Structure 1
């Protein structure tokens, strides 16, 4: 589970807490989150505090539901994740 400024934002699968902490430090991951918005505000800014913790049962269920939907659509479900905040659709 990734919290940004103490707000649960993203539940995702990882083989261990150590692996999860490493993933949220990867440049591509940070860049992706910095490009997203929620409620018109950036999801992640350089000064925001990121915290990784174990997910709660409901958060795990959200990941598994998302993975099942991706698999049913024939999409890659290797990395299961679920946003726990609304993500703004980028303008076309």
Structure 2
């Protein structure tokens, strides 16, 4: 197993991880920003006010994007398993 091969697989895995995590992170970021603006306008400085809306936003994003995430993961895993003979030949 060469270093280039390991770097290639690791790079693809990390790219997929970032792509899959992006929708949930963006929903949480947007909701957090909206709650921060609301807190600044109303001068409510309650730290626990941000947690529940962010958690709900991330769960909603997960529900919305779950079919897409599952499709990406299945395609990546299928490609990985399908190319095992090629990967073994690289040793």
Q: What TM-score do the two structures reach when normalised by structure 2?
A: 0.26
Greater C-alpha Rg: 2
Report the structure, 1 or 2, having the larger strand content.
1
Q: TM-score, normalised by structure 1?
A: 0.25
More helix by share: 2
